[in-house]
Amino acid sequence: MNSTSPTGTADQAAQDAKERQGITEWIEGHIGGKVTGIHRQRRWRPVWRVDLEKDGGSRQVLVKGVRAWDCIPYPLVHEMRMMEVLEANGIPVPHVYGMCDYPEAFVMDWIEGGRDPGLVMEAIESASTMSPERWAASLEYMEILARMHKIPAEQFEKAGCQRPEGARQVALNHVERFHRMCRDQEIVDPFMEFCMAWLRRNVPEHRTRCTFVTGDCGQFLNDGEKVTAVLDVEIGHLGDNFHDLACFRGRHPVENMGDVPALFRHYANAMGEELDLPVIAYHTVAFLAVGYFGPLFALADLSPGGDWVESAMQVAFIGRRCAEAMAEIVGVELDEIDLPEAHVTPLEDMALDKLIFEINRLPTSEQFADWQRSTLAAIPESLRNQAHYGRWAEAEDLDEIGQVLGHRPGNLEEADRALKDFVLQAGPEHDATLVRLFHRRLLRQCLVFAGPDAPADHLLFKKVEPILET
């Protein structure tokens, strides 16, 4: 590192070196052998694949760290404890070795196998597919999921899970945690408040049994037709097992989960339980609401790392799909919208083009990989679309919010605060109007992110497939 390097770059390099030293010392001290390589992965959070030489052979372990910002209401050790319970019950999860002191992370076996993209940007870059082998593994996964749901809740309670009592807690204890985090951060978001009001009013009162719920179901590795590992139980909790089935609807078809109704039937046979489609529909709203709440934390956070555009796109994209899932239950038809002609912004375009050009010529290194440079360049790329279409979206938002409130707010900040207050007082008679309003707002955001040349089947426009009989 030469003396002319920016302070931020030097600090990042020093932190990276300290993290690598901490990882090396922990692994060599607790697992043994010699660390020969550490590779940072493209993920929401710091994740490293570590090469290790031990007993004359090579192996790899995974080090999973804390997210760049607090966006889930469970500590890192929670996921490790959930994995330990699952492994003790014969569920194929990576073996966990323990918690590393610095960086704060836990260490597990690296498991080989294929998986579909887990981020919207990755899914756009590499379309999700369903091969015959992945489908066979998906059916096996449903059998594994049924086995997870049959593990006695007491085991997870002993590992730190809060046990919900009664239908309301079974349905809401998970999403309420995310909502409290948003409130604690003073996030003002009227759609968030509408989701919570709607979910509280529509609890499935007959669902009182609780099981372990992965919270973000459908994530697994496969080698051919065989599941090699269940992944990512960081938001695992005790709740309604049908919430996990709802995750499949929430993910598909952005992540191609295959024939979702067939997967549900396979699960029902393995579980020995009939499907309750209205409950799955309800939990689809809850799952997507959680997915909407999480990225809200990232938009104003200045912590190093993360993916700002991914977060902003997820707010628009997941929120829109949440409104679609709610609309099916409420029984309201939703609107289609087209982008208008672009607002011409020649000076802004030149400035952003220059910024993108300069970012793309920044040298890469171990501390600043290609994907990190692309993540940074995506910010001015998205701002270019905002410059072209942001005025249109804002004017449409204010006009439509004004129709609901009875007066047109002066700006979006004022509009969001007034609409939040309206939502907190509104009863179910306003559901249809508010679902359509929020869907249109979020769809406009998706259109702006996708831009004028986006194909009709762009992933940002993928809809939630219906589940209820019409």
How far apart are alpha carbons 27 and 47 in whole angstroms? 15
Residue with tokens 């270019």: 384
Task: Return all residues near 462 (Cβ < 8 A) that are at least 6 apart.
Answer: 253, 254, 321
Q: C-alpha distances in angstroms, 286 versus 153, 155, 293, 334? A: 21, 25, 11, 19
Helix (H, G, I), strand (E, B) or coil at 466: coil
Q: CA torsion, points 294, 296, 301, 303, in degrees to nearest 10? A: 20
Domain ranges of the chain: 308-461
How far apart are alpha carbons 422 and 388 in whole angstroms? 31
pTM score, two decimals? 0.92
Query: What does each of the 470 residues of the chain score in pLDDT, given as a tens digit?
Result: 333 344 455 677 788 889 999 999 999 999 999 999 999 886 667 899 999 999 999 999 999 998 766 788 999 999 999 999 999 999 999 999 999 989 999 999 999 877 654 445 555 555 667 899 999 999 999 999 999 999 999 999 999 999 999 999 999 999 999 999 999 989 999 999 999 999 999 999 999 999 999 999 999 999 999 999 999 999 999 999 999 999 999 999 888 999 999 999 999 999 999 999 999 999 999 999 999 998 888 888 777 777 889 999 999 999 999 999 999 999 999 999 999 999 999 999 999 999 999 999 999 887 788 888 999 999 999 999 999 999 999 999 999 999 999 999 999 999 999 999 999 999 999 999 999 999 999 999 999 999 999 998 898 999 999 999 74
Question: What is the DSSP code (8-state) at residue 367?
Answer: S
| CA nearest neighbour of 283 among 346, 194, 365, 216 | 216
